[in-house]
Every structure is written in C-alpha cells, then in structure tokens.
Structure 1
C-alpha cells in the first residue's frame, strides 16, 4: 500500500479498502467467474475509484468487490447487470451508522443523499426498499446482536433481506449457515456490498421461497413484510405451517396494519425499541419498533 494512501488515510480517517468502497462511487468494473465444485459459479464484480483518486492513492486500487453465486455461467447481459447494480448502489447511497445497530455500517439512502429528495422520474431504481433500514429489520438485527445464542449454530433464512442487516447480524453471532433471500436483485447486491463492509461472507438466494418448506433451515427472519393485508394473509399462513415443523420464526415490525390483532394472538412480543430520530423521519410517524416470535 502506497505512502500516498497512508497520507490520505490520516487526512480523512479512511483506514481500509472497505472504507474506501463506502466513500467513493466507482467508475470502472471488472467481472470474474470462479467455478465452485461443479455446481455453480461465483460472479465477482470489482470496482475501482475514478482516475484522479487512483492517482492520489497509487495505481491500481480496487475498492469494492461484489460476489454473487449463480448456478449457471451468466451471459454478458447478466454480468453487465451486476456491474450496473454495484455502481448504482454505491453512487446513490452513503455508509451510515445512524440506526439501532451502529456496530453495523450499511449503505443507505439518507437525508443527505440527492435520492432522498428526488422525484419519482429521477429515481434510477424501481421501489428501492433495500436502500432503507426499515424498523422491523432494525429490531430483528438489534435483538440478534444482543442475544447471539438465539442464532448461534443455527441455520438462518432471512426472507426479504433488503439491505441485509439481519443476515449480517446472524453471521456475526455465529450462525452455522445464513442465507439472505430477496426477489429484488438490487437487494441481493446491496446485501453483498454491506456484508463486505462488515467483514462477513454471506450466501444469497433470489428465488421466491414463500410457500416452500425451507427444510434446510431452523430459523426464519421476517422484517417489515406485513404492509399489505392480502400478502400478509399468505405470508402468515405459510409461517404458521413451517412453524409447525419446529422452526423459530422471528418477526420484526413497527405495528403495520397487516399485523392484525387476530394475528397478534399467535405471536409473542420479545423486544421493543425506540427508533432513532432519522428512522422516525423515514418511517412517517413510527417511533417504536418491535420483535415478535411466532408461538
């Protein structure tokens, strides 16, 4: 590592390549394929800082690496998409610790981001739910970090992983296996980037697993998914079915209408937290968030 990097680190407080990945939008990317025991490939997308910053730090320097597991060799369009995902996420988000889990740094859309105030036709993403750290996800991750024995040695599935905080918390607390699941490829990419920033490795899955038996898992995390009554009915019915097979089901939610009084008769409140000010602004009036366990 060059002397210029050390000088830059002293002046700015940047102390690692991961921190650089958090601070600077990329301008270039390279994609590599790594075979994995004849069952698939890891697609690794590495992005580098702009030319002026490379000169400042010493050439060359890769500052972000996004890894996604795929079952088949992707075509050029797929690998280009991965580059685009990584670049857009880093460009439009900032690293933040202003949430209930400050020990985790997460790339999010915050009030200082132009995207926060952008009009709908100015947003380059469709429904960027992954760019916000929703209250239920905060409650889930906070509780796991404070009660690591809940997931230690267990096989955890994070449904609708979003920014990946619950997944990252479970990995840090010693789960034997953790899978981040979301049908939105941006959420998968954001989770992978946030995992890198927090020095953990994650496994991702973009299939719709709701309605499946999920036999290989014994703990399921659900955050902020009771936003719609019709979907909540499907989701809760499925959760009750898999709970009957002995799984632990944790539900993070600030009190959305889909978590009705009738459904609350089947869940147990295990934690409640006050949301930090920025989270209250993001969530239109919610000031508290809770974690529930399916009975």
Structure 2
C-alpha cells in the first residue's frame, strides 16, 4: 500500500452514497478536517480542496445512470474524466465496460480511485498526468461536476468537444454550476441527488446529464 493510500484509509470511512448504494467508497464526512489533514500531510498550504474524499452530485448521477442502463457502458472503453473518488469509473466497470480509465491531475484522487476500485472488486486504470490533449482512445467519457470554475472549463471544454468529434460519447453531469455551457449539448436526463450542507448550500441538487456535441 502506498503512503497516499494509507493516509486515505486513516482519514476516511467506508460509506455508500445516497443515490448509488451499490458502490462502497472511502469518504470523509466533513471537508475542513480532511482538507487540513491533507495540507499537513503534503506539507503544503493553499492546495485545492480534497475533491476525492466526497461523492459529488454529478458523479453520483453518472454512476446511477450507468448502473441502471449497463448497456450504455458494457463492452466499451470508458474514461471517467476528473474522476475524484472514481465513482463513475467503478460504475462503468461494474456495468461490464471493456476497459476503464480514471483521469485526474491530483495524485491523491488517483490513489483514492485505486482504493475504491479494489473495495468494489473492479479494475480501473489510473495513469498519471493531465489527459487533456490526448488523442481519443475511448468510446464513452463521463465528466461530472467539471464546470465549477471558468479556467477549468476553458481548459477542458475544447478538448472534450474534440473527443466528441472523434467519435466518443461525452456526458457532462452538472448540478447547476456557474460555467456549464448553454449551447452545443443535448439533454439526456435529470436526477435529484441528496447532498449535505457541509458541501452544498442545500440538501438536494438537481443534476442534468447532457451529451456534448462536437
């Protein structure tokens, strides 16, 4: 076990997200303690929040969709983009995907995804580095909660559109974040996802899943 995996085990508990109880994950219950502990462990201040420690609404909606309709992922090459805890990747693997990758620029998130995949008895590849700019090697790309900041949206959206143009299905699951594009998408479904005021400003989020057009 890596040091990162040991840290995650020590600072989280195994829980099942409200919308996707079939999947068990190493999760935190409060954001401030895990954030402070991560900064102390990495000996860095001002790091990004530990997104890997929570099952965010967009990821839950994607996982629920895949598990409810496994034919959408079965036999396909699937990428869980900005995977966080890896819930989308795990759902795709459980649905019978031919190969599953989780993409993250945060090494802690990749460690969390490996732990969570093992917890659920599935195989998920976790190559390091920024996948943006790579050539398309996937049939389905899942992207949950990725439009919460303008710089990130500007960085990823042209590449995701290029992936759609190269033949991949690209699904963006969004719980009402500020920078979701308003054009060039087709609505696939809506989901009501329970959340907590520890993470959100309400106890439930409505998540829309759109297919991104080239």
Distance 1:273 1:90, change over 3 A: same
SS in structure 2 at match of 1:102 = coil
> What's 1:49 paired with?
none
1:137 deviates by 0.7
The one of 5, 23, 38 aligned to 1:124 = 38
1:271 deviates by 1.6
| 2:186 paired with 1:271 | no
8 Å Cα contact 2:12/2:53 also seen in 1: yes
Total equivalences in the alignment: 204
| 2:70 paired with 1:148 | yes
In angstroms, what is the RMSD of aligned CA positions?
1.8
> TM-score if structure 1 supplies the norm length?
0.65
| 2:205 paired with 1:287 | yes
SS in structure 1 at match of 2:71 = helix
Which stretches in structure 2 are left out of the alignment for 5+ residues? 40-46
| 2:7 paired with 1:93 | no
Q: Distance in 2 between matches of 1:98 and 1:160?
A: 18
> What's 2:164 paired with?
243
Q: Please list, as runs of the form range in 1=range in 2, the aligned pairs for 1:25-44 lying within 5 A after superposition.
A: none
> What's 1:108 paired with?
27
Q: Distance in 2 between matches of 1:197 and 1:167?
A: 13
SS in structure 2 at match of 1:124 = helix
Which of structures 1 and 2 has the bigger CA Rg?
A: 1
> TM-score if structure 2 supplies the norm length?
0.88
1:199 deviates by 1.2
* Stretch of structure 1 that moved more, 237-246 or 136-145: 237-246
| 2:114 paired with 1:222 | no
1:97 deviates by 1.2
Distance 1:119 1:238, change over 3 A: closer
Q: Distance in 2 between matches of 1:245 and 1:266?
A: 16
Q: Please list, as runs of the form range in 1=range in 2, the aligned pairs for 1:40-119 lying within 5 A after superposition.
A: 45=1, 82=2, 84-111=3-30, 116-118=31-33
> What's 1:23 paired with?
none
CA offsets per residue over residues 199-237 of structure 1, 9 Å max, x none? 1122111221112222x2121111111111132123111
Q: Distance in 2 between matches of 1:165 and 1:119?
A: 19
